[in-house]
């Protein structure tokens, strides 16, 4: 599993496996799931992360805190 945060776009990307993506499903405007050919999830993308995830949870993942104006703080 690979977890990355991109502060310039306020996006949290979680790669569950390195299998190729066969299909994508927009669950909500901010939540996107990618699936392999067997329909199993391979990746999760969360846009507008700072609006959807409490900063305490980002710290738990060892990710930087996000301020209300999306600037990276604490690192």
The tally of domains found in the chain comes to 1
The pLDDT of residue 69 is 42
By the 10 Å C-beta count (0-12 exposed, 13-18 middle, 19+ buried), 8 is classed as exposed
Adjacent-strand bridge partners of 15: 2, 43
> How far is 27 from 5, CA to CA, in rounded Å?
20
The pLDDT of residue 33 is 97
Whole domain around residue 61: which residue ranges? 2-73
**43-74, pLDDT tens digit by residue?**
999 999 888 877 655 655 565 544 444 344 33
Distances (CA, A) of 13 to 7, 68, 74: 11, 20, 20
Question: Are 43 and 13 within 8 A, CB to CB?
Answer: yes
The pLDDT of residue 50 is 84
> How far is 38 from 19, CA to CA, in rounded Å?
11
**4-40, pLDDT tens digit by residue?**
888 899 999 999 999 999 999 999 999 999 999 999 9
């Amino acid at each position: 599993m690979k977890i990355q945060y991109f502060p310039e776009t306020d996006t949290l990307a979680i790669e569950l496996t390195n299998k190729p993506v066969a299909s994508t499903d927009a669950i909500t405007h901010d939540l996107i799931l990618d699936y392999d050919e067997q329909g199993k999830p391979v990746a999760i993308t969360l846009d507008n992360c700072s609006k959807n995830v409490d900063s305490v949870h980002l710290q738990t993942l060892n990710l930087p805190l996000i301020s209300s104006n999306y600037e990276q703080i604490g690192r």
